[in-house]
């Protein structure tokens, strides 16, 4: 049968990315406590398409993914990206993996336990001989307004906020990316809010969390700066972007702040890559 995708295209327009999206697939990711965690991811996979070809072969994305089914991490994405480039005869390949990651969280007073989900993202890209990997995590927090606390005779308004953190790690002496755990980024983000968010709270826990937030008021500006300080001081981190957004409880809008930072080249490990210029908007 004729390979229609390989027909000549005479419009002289190369395509930066073409592929498949909104693909649900079971994967296994690294878990700091138990080794591995099974979850279901939403994937976007793409390659570049030279100007001379009419189309790409969409079925090959699924064929490659099926060969690499199982663990999807910074350890396995380079092989998957290389296979995509080879199978689709492409110069560059990109994969974005968004998935829920679950941790058991215990209430601060009673110790009541339940699972809590966090939205995580892996972004892998291979362009020519260069590779890149970005890890992202979106963390819910409670924030209490410092202004409201200061000007009110009693009480202060608070709200649920979200801290979204994307990081690129430095390469170690072996040339591999240094490991940054999802759990570490969650802890950094939670510590930047007025109080963490929990899946289950009894009355003593609710009292504790409410007072904890009241004693630790923060603006969105405070939250992104607190995360930035922690990540900037971590020698494993080559680049980060931090985005905080509060779903305001007394306004019909949200408030946000964003900080992006790149470690100076003199402080980076040799071979550091910078293919992924932007992470997804939170």
C-alpha Rg value of the chain to the nearest Å: 22
Does residue 212 lie within any of the structural domains? yes
Does residue 147 lie within any of the structural domains? yes
Query: Cα separation of 115 and 21, whole Å?
Result: 28
37 forms beta bridges with: 29
Residue 58: the pLDDT is: 85
Residue 29: the pLDDT is: 95
Does residue 280 lie within any of the structural domains? no
Express each pLDDT in 155-170 by its tens digit: 889 899 999 999 999 9
Mean local confidence (pLDDT), 203-232: 96
Residue 191: the pLDDT is: 97
User: What is the extent of the structural domain holding 124?
Assistant: 4-267
19, pLDDT greater than 60: yes
Mean local confidence (pLDDT), 135-156: 94
Q: Which segments of the chain are extended strands (E)? A: 15-31, 35-49, 70-71, 92-106, 113-127, 130-144, 158-169, 195-196, 237-247, 254-262
Residue 273: the pLDDT is: 45
Mean local confidence (pLDDT), 46-65: 84
Query: Cα separation of 271 and 269, whole Å?
Result: 6
Does residue 281 lie within any of the structural domains? no
* Residue 132 · residue 125 · CB < 8 Å: yes
Which residue, among 75, 63, 64, has the nearest Cα to 28 in the 3D structure?
Answer: 75
Does residue 275 lie within any of the structural domains? no
264, pLDDT greater than 80: yes
- Which residue has tokens 């004729």? 2
Tokens at 163, concatenated: 């801290």
In whole numbers, what is the pLDDT of the chain averaged over residues? Answer: 89
Residue 6: the pLDDT is: 60
Query: Cα separation of 183 and 137, whole Å?
Result: 9
* Residue 220 · residue 153 · CB < 8 Å: no
Percent of the chain residues topping a pLDDT of 90:
70
Does residue 279 lie within any of the structural domains? no
Express each pLDDT in 247-260 by its tens digit: 888 888 889 999 99
- Which residue has tokens 């950094």? 188
Mean local confidence (pLDDT), 11-15: 82
- Alpha carbon 136 to its chain centroid, in Å, reads 1
pTM for the model: 0.88
Tokens at 114, concatenated: 């339940």
Does residue 115 lie within any of the structural domains? yes
Mean local confidence (pLDDT), 46-57: 79
Which region among 123-127, 171-175, 258-262 has the lowest average model confidence (pLDDT)? 171-175
* Residue 92 · residue 127 · CB < 8 Å: yes
**Residue 71 belongs to a domain with what CATH number?**
3.10.270.10
Label residue 280 by pLDDT band (50, 70, 90): low
* Residue 87 · residue 35 · CB < 8 Å: no
Label residue 278 by pLDDT band (50, 70, 90): low
Structurally, the chain folds into a number of domains equal to 1
274, pLDDT greater than 50: no
Residue 5: the pLDDT is: 59
281, pLDDT greater than 90: no
SS3 8: strand
The residue ranking higher by pLDDT, 174 or 165, is: 165
Tokens at 79, concatenated: 């092989």
Angle (CA) 137 138 144, round 5°: 135
SS3 206: helix
Query: Cα separation of 223 and 242, whole Å?
Result: 9
* Residue 165 · residue 188 · CB < 8 Å: yes
272, pLDDT greater than 80: no
Label residue 175 by pLDDT band (50, 70, 90): confident
Residue 36: the pLDDT is: 92
Mean local confidence (pLDDT), 257-271: 79
Residue 248: the pLDDT is: 83
Count CB neighbours of 234 within 10 A. Answer: 17
Residue 93: the pLDDT is: 95
Residues 6+ apart with CB under 8 A from 131: 78, 81, 124, 125, 273, 275
**CB burial readout 248-266, b (16+ within 10 A) else e:** beeeeeebbbebeeebeee
Does residue 282 lie within any of the structural domains? no
The residue ranking higher by pLDDT, 3 or 34, is: 34
């Amino acid at each position: 049968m004729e390979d229609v995708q390989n027909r000549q295209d005479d419009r002289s327009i190369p395509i930066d990315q073409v592929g498949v999206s909104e693909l649900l697939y079971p994967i296994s990711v690294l878990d700091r406590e138990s080794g591995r965690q099974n979850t279901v991811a939403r994937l976007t996979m793409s390659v570049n398409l030279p100007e001379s070809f009419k189309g790409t072969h969409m079925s090959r994305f699924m064929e490659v993914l099926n060969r690499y089914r199982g663990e999807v991490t910074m350890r396995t994405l380079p092989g998957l990206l290389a296979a995509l480039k080879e199978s689709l005869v492409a110069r560059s390949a990109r994969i974005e993996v968004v998935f829920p990651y679950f941790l058991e969280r215990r209430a601060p007073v009673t110790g009541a336990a339940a699972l809590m989900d966090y939205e995580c993202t892996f972004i892998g890209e291979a362009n020519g001989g260069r590779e890149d990997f970005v890890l992202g995590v979106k963390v819910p927090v409670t924030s209490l307004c410092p202004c409201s606390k200061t000007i009110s005779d009693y009480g202060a308004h608070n709200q649920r906020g979200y801290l979204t953190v994307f990081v690129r790690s430095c390469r170690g002496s072996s040339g591999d990316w240094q490991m940054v755990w999802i759990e570490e980024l969650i802890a950094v983000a939670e510590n930047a809010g007025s109080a963490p968010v929990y899946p289950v709270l009894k009355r003593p826990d609710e009292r504790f969390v409410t007072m904890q937030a009241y004693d630790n008021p923060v603006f969105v500006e405070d939250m992104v700066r607190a995360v930035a300080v922690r990540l900037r001081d971590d020698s494993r981190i080559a680049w980060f972007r931090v985005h905080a957004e509060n779903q305001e409880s007394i306004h019909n809008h949200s408030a946000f702040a964003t900080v992006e930072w790149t470690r100076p080249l003199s402080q980076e490990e040799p071979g550091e890559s910078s293919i992924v210029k932007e992470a997804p908007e939170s």
